[in-house]
Structure 1
Amino acid sequence: MGKRKRLLVEQGFQVIRMIGKGGFGRVYQVSRAEIGVVAAKVMKEEDFDTKEWRVGYQLTKANTNPFVLKYHSAQMFGTQTVILMEFANMKNLDYLIESKQDLPIPVIRAIMRQLLEGLRLMHEKGIIHRDIKGQNILLHSPPGSGLIVLKIADFGLIKEQKQVEQSTMMTVAGTVPFMSPELFMGTEDGEVKADTKV
């Protein structure tokens, strides 16, 4: 048993399975009687992004956006940090696209409506995601509901606007294949207007 998994077991979690890994650490599906099934992201303390956690928790606390992944808590254990988040029980949008399933138009519309509404609600709070891609769009079906709810995840590259009405100026950030062409047309200081002609 690896040290990350052992840490979760020592904290009273039943580790169901690993659901993701990367340079940041590992994500596990875990359960504990008092909180049920959640996702536990385990990483080195120095890799813990306080901005990502703060924004994720802020959006969770406001409880006004059903289309963002909910953050429950973050705790330090020696050199490791554990973030507990809502568990999205289906795969991500990337997986759905790669499966090459023929999706009915109403399903595609529902996915787009939820994604755009989730982004609109984030923008109302002055939060710009800047890394929208299939891997960061999770799918969740609340047990017994028969519904599928989209969940926007990974707030590591977000930008907060001081005023919601301020200019659309932003620094260049994101995952290259998913960035709009105008983001490559920035000035020397890295600023670019999203409505710049390309």
Structure 2
Amino acid sequence: MDEEEREEVGEYKLQGLVGRGSFAEVHRAAHRRTGAPAAVKAIDRRLVDKRVHDGILQEREILRSIDHPNILRLLDTIDTTNMMYLVLEYCDGGDLDAFLHKHGRLPEAVAKDLMRQLAEGLKVLRGRNIVHRDLKPQNLLLSTNGDDIVLKIGDFGFARLEQYAPALSHAYLSLSFPIHSDI
């Protein structure tokens, strides 16, 4: 991480490394006063080029603009000279990929419910002309709420706002399904 292996970031006390990538680390954290869990994504500015930096800024803006139970929530952002920190909702169930490796095949009812939740999150993104561009089991995070599993779409680093998405989708559907077109 740097600045020199911080134990705290803003109002959050770091509790342990969850994962590491080429330019970022994710730490489990807790709010100093409330104890509320969080995940802190620590991004070293010195290790990212302009394209990646712009993607991180886009991710931050997208997450700031959405409040939906099936989209990972951004709780706070902290910027320093060398580091950018995204404080995110902590998902105690890990990602869908790890969950499937651990538990194997899901009962049909659970699989249907997770896909319904994914569809709800995608519906919100579609309504805002946001294209995720990196949907995969590793970017679908799980939280537990009693006996329920809540799926959350995360990692919006490759996401883009698509100005022409509705028109293109309509044109594609018209070409793909001519029986429904006016042609």
**Shorter-normalised TM range:** 0.7 to 0.9
Mapped contact 1:124–1:164 kept (Cα < 8 A) = no
Pick aligned residue for 1:54 from 57, 61, 66: 61
Question: Structure 1 pair 92/5, CA: closer, same or farther in 2 (3 Å)?
Answer: farther
Displacement of 1:12 in angstroms is 5.4
Query: Deviation digits for residues 77-123 of structure 1, max 9, x if unmatched?
Result: 22111110100111111112223523211011111111111111110
- The amino acid of 1:157's aligned partner reads F
1:5, 1:15 within 8 Å by CA — same for their partners in 2?
no
In the TM superposition, what are the counterparts of 1:154-165 in structure 2 within 5 Å?
A: 154-162=155-163, 165=166
Structure 1 residue aligned with 2:26: 27
Instruction: Mark the CA change 1:194 to 1:70 in structure 2 (over 3 Å): closer, same or farther.
Output: farther
Gaps of 5+ in 2: 177-183
Structure 1 distance, partners of 2:103, 2:153, is 22
Q: Cα deviations across residues 35-61 of structure 1 (Å, max 9, x unaligned)?
A: 5211001111253421111111111xx
Corresponding residue for residue 13 of structure 1: 12
Aligned 8 A contact 2:100 2:106 in 1: no
State the number of aligned residues: 167
Matched residues in 2 for 1:127 and 1:23: separation?
25
Secondary structure at the residue paired with 2:168? coil
Whether 1:108 aligns to 2:115 is no
CA contact (8 A) 1:126 1:160 kept: yes
* Corresponding residue for residue 40 of structure 1: 40
Q: 1:97 aligns with which of 100, 107, 122?
A: 100
Aligned to 2:91: 88
Specify which of 136, 151, 164 is matched with residue 133 of structure 1: 136
- Contact 1:4-1:42 within 8 A present in 2 as well: no
Change (3 A) 1:194 1:152: farther
Instruction: Tell me the SS of whatever aligns to 2:148.
Output: coil
Aligned-pair Cα RMSD in Å: 2.5
Q: Is the 8 A contact 1:67 1:114 kept in 2?
A: yes
> 1:16, 1:28 within 8 Å by CA — same for their partners in 2?
yes
TM-score (structure 1 length as normaliser): 0.74
Counterpart residue identity of residue 13, structure 2: Q
What secondary structure does 1:7 align onto? coil
Match of 1:152 in 2: 153
Q: 1:126 to 1:76 in 2, by over 3 A?
A: same
Give percent identity, aligned residues only: 23
Q: Does the aligned pair in 1 maintain the 2:93–2:99 contact within 8 Å? A: no
| Structure 1 counterpart of 2:57, one-letter code | T
> Do the aligned residues in 2 keep the contact of 1:56 with 1:71 (CA within 8 Å)?
yes
